[in-house]
């Protein structure tokens, strides 16, 4: 058996001096006895995969709300693509692949239904910016329950940091967290182009030549160039970075997506309805707080926050079904 102790020794012998070793973890918020066969980051990964929040990602919007087609990305497939890209980079740099995987799998657990439209709706409802990074941390720290019944997944400090700082102004303190931060962007830039092409919202000829001449004309070429560049630029460095040329080309593609896909395109036409639905649900639950499941009320006495937690955790289809249940009249038939 390849025990945890042996794995810890293997990490010390094989991984880079810049890697975050499992044996050097800062630990958990609540101390636990170690596993005989799994490192701390492997246990974090497993806890995330077995969580309800992770399973719900399969029915949460990535970019397009309720697309007619089986091959468009969801929040779950996005998460898996981020994990794959991040693990490839970590392995090539001899960094901790288990830590990278745990952060990648947990980074979007706090995303709302209907993608960023859901975030915007909750921001407008509450008057405070809804931040899915903070909500993801709230999910793993408070909302999820373990099989023992204890509240929160009690993840390691390193995984929590990577989840919290995968976007925003603060960088993760581990190189593994920094990998996920960039892998997230590599994944969504490329798969959102792929989905937009499939939907007919853009054509191949629309992509900016200044970017494709450097990154490539196909989905696989672009990911390969971005990943190789990141590996080459970061090798034996105490920072995860990209070359100026590839970074600039990647940002050109990202700007193109904002201008042609993310804002005002046909694929975003249902966002207004989605936002109105979430606002209606919020008002309904605030007036009928007893409709909120007890698991959201037992640790959060602030009803406003409990309702936000409940709505943020919904899948697209669950929110739509609740809208039908609470706001659409059901025909009444005379049984006589």
Contact criterion met (CB below 8 Å) for 191 and 78: yes
At 336, the pLDDT band (50, 70, 90 cuts) reads: low
In a domain? residue 132: yes
- Can you give the pTM of this predicted structure? 0.95
In a domain? residue 9: no
- What is residue 330's predicted lDDT score, i.e. its pLDDT? 80
In a domain? residue 107: yes
Contact criterion met (CB below 8 Å) for 246 and 210: no
Report the C-alpha gap between 160 and 174 in whole angstroms: 11
Which among 222, 189, 255, 231 is positioned nearest to 86, based on CA atoms? 231
Which among 212, 248, 243 is positioned nearest to 227, based on CA atoms? 243
In a domain? residue 31: no
Q: How far is CA 16 from CA 13, 176, 188, 334, in A?
A: 9, 12, 28, 74
Model pLDDT for residues 123-170, shown as the tens digit of each residue: 999 999 999 999 999 999 999 988 777 889 999 999 999 999 999 999
State the CATH number of the domain containing residue 273.
1.10.3210.10
Which among 103, 67, 113, 55 is positioned nearest to 82, based on CA atoms? 103
In a domain? residue 333: no
At 67, the pLDDT band (50, 70, 90 cuts) reads: low
Domain that holds residue 160: 41-327
Number of domains within the chain:
1
């Amino acid at each position: 058996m390849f025990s945890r102790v042996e794995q810890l020794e293997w990490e010390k012998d094989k991984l880079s001096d810049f890697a975050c070793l499992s044996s050097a973890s800062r630990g958990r918020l609540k101390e636990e006895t170690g596993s005989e066969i799994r490192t701390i980051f492997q246990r974090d990964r497993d806890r995330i995969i077995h969580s309800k929040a992770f399973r719900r990602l399969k029915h949460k919007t990535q970019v397009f709300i309720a697309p007619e087609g089986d091959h468009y990305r969801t929040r779950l497939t996005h998460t898996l693509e981020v994990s794959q890209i991040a693990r490839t980079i970590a392995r090539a740099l001899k960094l901790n692949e288990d830590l990278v995987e745990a952060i990648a799998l947990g980074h979007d657990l706090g995303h709302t239904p209907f993608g960023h439209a859901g975030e915007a709706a909750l921001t407008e409802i509450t008057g405070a910016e809804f931040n899915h990074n903070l909500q993801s941390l709230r999910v793993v720290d408070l909302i999820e329950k373990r099989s023992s019944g204890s509240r929160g997944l009690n993840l390691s400090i390193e995984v929590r940091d990577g989840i919290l700082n995968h976007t925003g102004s603060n960088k993760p303190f581990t190189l593994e967290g920094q990998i996920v931060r960039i892998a997230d962007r590599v994944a969504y830039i490329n798969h959102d182009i792929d989905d937009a092409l499939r939907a007919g919202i853009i054509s191949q000829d629309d992509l900016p030549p200044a970017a494709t001449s450097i990154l490539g004309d196909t989905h696989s070429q672009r990911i390969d160039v971005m990943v190789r560049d990141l590996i080459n630029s970061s090798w034996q460095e105490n920072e995860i970075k990209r070359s100026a040329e590839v970074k600039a080309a990647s940002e050109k593609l990202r700007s193109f997506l904002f201008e042609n896909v993310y804002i005002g395109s046909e694929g975003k036409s249902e966002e207004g309805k989605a936002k109105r639905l979430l606002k209606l649900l919020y008002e309904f639950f605030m007036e009928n707080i007893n409709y909120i499941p007890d698991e959201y009320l037992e640790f959060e006495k602030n009803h406003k926050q409990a309702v936000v937690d409940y709505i943020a955790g919904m899948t697209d289809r669950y929110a739509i079904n609740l809208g039908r249940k609470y706001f659409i009249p059901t025909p009444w038939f005379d049984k006589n």
